[in-house]
Structure 1
């Protein structure tokens, strides 16, 4: 490829700013190719400029190869950033699905039919058994006390709601 074909290929993924400066004493040029990505602007590696200093003859011999290598690395980095973005989005979607499933499951266990509350025990005088010293079992039934947590052998989950 020619220099302008390489620049065109690089400019397809980013707007380029080029600066060229010369040092008369050393006979060298410095060429800076600074990309401004159109996409993935948050990826710092894609904004890394290419800065080369060489003689004009060295640029004639190797500038096209330097541009090609730079373009290929930028493409690879952009592909890696895109792949990472896809992995993060997939993980986020899986996390949302897990949370949604857990919410549905928790809602289903809360909506299970409630156990009937038995009527208060009535004493021989016809009054409700709310005096001190009355039968503890009848008071627990009136209050609708929650059953104790249960677990089966080998099962580490506890049923706290029924």
Structure 2
């Protein structure tokens, strides 16, 4: 590829700013290629500028390869950033689902705990059920007797 073909390929993924400065004493140029990514402006690795200092002859011989290597590294970084974003988004989705499932389970257990326990007389043998009924009747009779003694009135529970 030519220099402008490499610049074009690089500019397809980022807006480029280039600065060129010369040092007359050393006979060298400094070329800065500064990308501003279109999609991931916050990703520091993708905004790292390419800064090269060399003689004009060295630029003629190796600038295209330097641009190509820089572009390929940037593409690799952009792919890594995209893959990392996908992993993070998947982890977020899994975390939200896990939290949602936990909330549903907690809500369900509170609902179950709030409901009164069903009567167990069906699972209790007939003798035990009779004993429970007798105990309930004795409690009611004792309560009536207490009320009678306290207020002087008599209540007939079975009458």
User: Shorter chain as normaliser: what TM range?
Assistant: 0.7 to 0.9
1:122-150, CA deviations, whole angstroms, 9 ceiling, x for partnerless residues?
Answer: 4625278xxxxxxxxxxxxxxxxxxxxxx
TM-score, normalisation: structure 1: 0.72
RMSD: 2.1
Q: Which consecutive residues of structure 1, in runs of 5 or more, have no partner in the other structure? A: 129-162
1:29-68, CA deviations, whole angstroms, 9 ceiling, x for partnerless residues?
Answer: 0000000110111110000000000000000000000000
2:108 pairs with 1:90 = no
Question: Which structure: greater helix fraction?
Answer: 2
- Aligned partners of 1:127 and 1:5: how far apart in 2? 106
TM-score, normalisation: structure 2: 0.74
Larger Rg over CA atoms: 2
Q: Which residue in the other structure is 1:124 paired with?
A: 142
Q: Which runs of 4+ in 1 moved over 6 A?
A: none
2:116 pairs with 1:114 = yes
- Aligned partners of 1:11 and 1:67: how far apart in 2? 11
Q: Which residue in the other structure is 1:79 paired with?
A: 79
- Aligned partners of 1:10 and 1:79: how far apart in 2? 14
